[in-house]
């Protein structure tokens, strides 16, 4: 139910349950969590593209299954899935070609870069079935802010990719989001993995720090990166006008 392919240092994780509009049941959620964790641990992966097969990106939670199966098990999987942005230290790029509703919007919010097709609908529609988007709220708030995320949660309205771009959920709109996502991923996957991972770790850690604390963490991280062999190689490659050969990829 998760289709994994790899091109160079880019891994594509495609939701592959098109007959159910890629709804997140236990099996899909478990496989996606595992695939993300494996990509994070794989030295040969530099970036992750998240996409969906069929007409939809992701229709959210499988409502039929949640009435029949262990909702606590699904909730645990969703908690881990919808906090990916807090633990994955490789760029996640979402290619959104079709509707991303409820949990689908949550998956999108957990990506670092989101590339969508024109007019694609998003929405935090859980209120319409007597629920609140508690598990995806935190990631959506990071992308869109508390006031906008609360409004969308209250109204349950759908909104277009063009609106999502204004809100900060989407970063780019293009006719072929998958091709563009792969293009961006192929570029960022070739950057220093030490610098990339440290940078994303920095973004995570300063969220709950004040200005001075964030500055201290930043100075410490900058010193560590400048002492690393990747920085020396990066500077030399820049001055010599060649592609860097990162030492961290050879260890």
Per-residue pLDDT tens digits for 85-121: 989 999 999 999 999 999 999 999 999 999 999 999 9
Of 133, 129, 132, 110, whose CA–CA distance to 57 is shortest? 110
d(CA 25, CA 42): 26
d(CA 109, CA 57): 13
Out of 1.25.40.10, 3.30.390.50, 1.10.287.180, 1.10.12.10, select the CATH number for domain 193-249.
1.10.12.10
pLDDT of residue 96: 98
Residue 54 contacts residue 23 (beta carbons within 8 Å): no
Residue 194 contacts residue 224 (beta carbons within 8 Å): no
Provide the pLDDT confidence category of residue 77 given band limits of 50, 70 and 90.
confident
pTM score of the predicted model:
0.95
pLDDT of residue 68: 66
Provide the pLDDT confidence category of residue 74 given band limits of 50, 70 and 90.
confident
CB atoms inside a 10 Å sphere around CB 20:
18
Of 76, 77, 68, 66, whose CA–CA distance to 29 is shortest? 77
Provide the pLDDT confidence category of residue 71 given band limits of 50, 70 and 90.
low
Six token digits for residue 201: 């770790």
Q: What is the average pLDDT value for the chain, to the nearest integer?
A: 95
d(CA 174, CA 179): 9
Q: Where are the domains of the chain?
A: 2-188, 193-249
Q: 152-174 pLDDT, tens per residue?
A: 999 999 999 999 999 999 999 99
Residue 82's contacts (CB-CB under 8 Å, 6 or more residues apart) are 103, 106, 107, 110, 135, 136, 138, 139
Cα–Cα distances (Å) from 6 to 48, 84, 186, 237, 250, in that order, read: 9, 20, 11, 27, 20
Gyration radius of the chain's alpha carbons: 19
Residue 62's contacts (CB-CB under 8 Å, 6 or more residues apart) are 20, 23, 24, 25, 28
Does 69 score more than 70 pLDDT?
A: no
Does 65 score more than 80 pLDDT?
A: no
Fold exhibited by the domain 2-188: 2-enoyl-CoA Hydratase; Chain A, domain 1 (3.90.226)
Q: 177-202 pLDDT, tens per residue?
A: 999 999 999 999 999 999 999 999 99
State whether residue 52 is helix, strand or coil: strand
């Amino acid at each position: 139910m998760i289709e994994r392919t790899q091109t160079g240092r880019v891994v594509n994780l495609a939701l592959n349950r098109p007959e159910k509009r890629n709804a997140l049941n236990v099996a899909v959620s478990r496989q996606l969590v595992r695939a993300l964790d494996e990509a994070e641990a794989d030295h040969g992966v530099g970036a992750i593209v998240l996409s969906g097969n069929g007409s939809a990106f992701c229709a959210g939670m499988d409502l039929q299954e949640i009435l029949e199966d262990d909702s606590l098990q699904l909730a645990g999987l969703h908690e881990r899935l919808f906090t990916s942005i807090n633990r994955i230290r490789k760029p996640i790029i979402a290619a959104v070609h079709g509707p991303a509703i409820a949990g689908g919007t949550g998956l999108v919010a957990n990506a670092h870069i989101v590339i969508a097709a024109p007019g694609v609908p998003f929405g935090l529609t859980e209120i319409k079935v007597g629920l609140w988007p508690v598990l995806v709220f935190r990631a959506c708030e990071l992308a869109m802010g508390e006031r906008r995320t609360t409004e969308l949660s209250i109204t349950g309205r759908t909104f277009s990719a063009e609106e999502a771009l204004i809100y900060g959920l989407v970063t780019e709109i293009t006719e072929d989001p998958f091709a563009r996502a792969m293009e961006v991923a192929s570029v960022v996957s070739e950057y220093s993995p030490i610098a990339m991972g440290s940078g994303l770790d920095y973004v995570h850690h300063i969220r709950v720090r004040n200005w001075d604390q964030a500055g201290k963490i930043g100075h410490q991280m900058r010193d560590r990166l400048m002492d690393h062999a990747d920085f020396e190689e990066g500077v030399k490659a820049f001055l010599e006008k060649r592609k860097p050969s990162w030492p961290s990829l050879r260890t």
